[in-house]
Amino acid sequence: MSPLLTTETTAPVRSGADVLDLAPVIPVVVVDTVEQAVPLARALVRGGIPVIEITLRSEAGLGAIEAVATEVEGMVVGAGTVVTPEQVQQVKDAGAQFIVTPGSPPRLLEAALDSGLPLLAGASTLTEMLTLAEAGLEAMKFFPAEASGGRPYLSAVAGPCPQLRFCPTGGITPQTAPQWLALDNVGCVGGSWLTPKDAVAQGDWARIEALAAEAAALRQPTG
């Protein structure tokens, strides 16, 4: 089935750089059942977060991506924890509008680039970052963010690689997110705190909507 996304709802994403500009925080979501995905995604949209990364860490991941892509207007749905070339094709078939990988081994990177979908490939070292830059990527995922040197490391990366922009993910909290977003080379952050497991299990969509609204307010429009 074709995704609902149109220019009348949310602007289409054509690159990883476009993904970074959708919201200050990309919710990184694990769902236990496909049925949880649609009301969860709608709560995020109501709260002002029009992007979601549904990971393949559960058996419900693929079905959840397809459900959100086909049923939730105004939501850009990406597939996270994509670790094999075969999964690249699976998430594309499910309707994912971008791909997020934790790393970038050659076969996975080639498959992701060949898919034509926007890609946020994971990198934690300058060699990995420069390898992705050689492949034509200027936006990427910095993972695991806190464990890989945190904000001081990523700030230092801006010296030799001023053209690169990042979505740091891993260990980021509501308290530290503003400090990450203050870095010139950070477009957004990834976090799981917008969709707490207990809130998802209980169907507490109002709580998720409130958390989304708080996250959306982390970066106010300028001008």
Residue 219: pLDDT band with limits 50, 70, 90: confident
pLDDT at position 167 is: 98
What residues make up the domain containing 75? 16-213
DSSP 72: -
In tens, the pLDDT along 53-97 reads 999 999 999 999 999 999 999 999 999 999 999 999 999 999 999
Residue from 75, 96, 67 nearest 11 by CA: 75
Instruction: Look at residue 79 and tell me if it is in a domain.
Output: yes
Predicted TM-score (pTM) of the model is: 0.93
Q: Catalytic site residues?
A: 53, 141
In a domain, 140, yes or no: yes
Residue 4 lies in a domain: no
Residue 40 maps to which CATH number? Answer: 3.20.20.70
pLDDT reported for residue 10: 52
Helix axes of 85-94 and 106-114: crossing angle, nearest 10 degrees: 30
How many domains are contained in the chain?
1
Establish if 115 belongs to a structural domain: yes
Q: Is 154 domain-assigned?
A: yes
Does residue 93 lie within any of the structural domains? yes
Q: Are 195 and 64 in contact (CB under 8 A)?
A: no
For residue 189, is it within any domain?
yes
pLDDT tens string 178-218: 999 999 999 999 999 999 999 999 999 999 999 999 999 99
Provide mean pLDDT across the span 151-172. 97
